[in-house]
Amino acid sequence: MGRKIAEGRVKRGLTQESLAEALERSVQYASRVEMGENLSISTLTKVANAIGVSVISLFEAPTEEPRSKRGRPRKPAGPRGPTE
């Protein structure tokens, strides 16, 4: 559900900060919501209203593929030869 919330937020052009304001919570809370934190029905309704979707649509599968792992990309492994 978190991915679906993030997807809706981005489609609506909202930042996590603006979502947090709509929920009257911290940006960290909005981030945790998008990571899949359990929500009360009341908060779920606020989230749906903030991103302009129905509550039921949040239970549908996301349309976007999950993001790749976070962090710095690894350097490609290459042949290691003498550095002279």
pTM attached to this predicted model? 0.70
d(CA 14, CA 61): 21
pLDDT (tens digit, 0 to 9) for every residue of the chain, 84 residues total? Answer: 999 999 999 999 999 999 999 999 999 999 999 999 999 999 999 999 999 999 999 998 877 665 655 656 566 665 665 555
Instruction: Give all domains of the chain, ordered by start, each with its CATH number.
Output: 2-59 (1.10.260.40)
Residues near 5 by beta carbon (within 8 Å), at least 6 away in sequence: 33, 34, 47, 51, 58
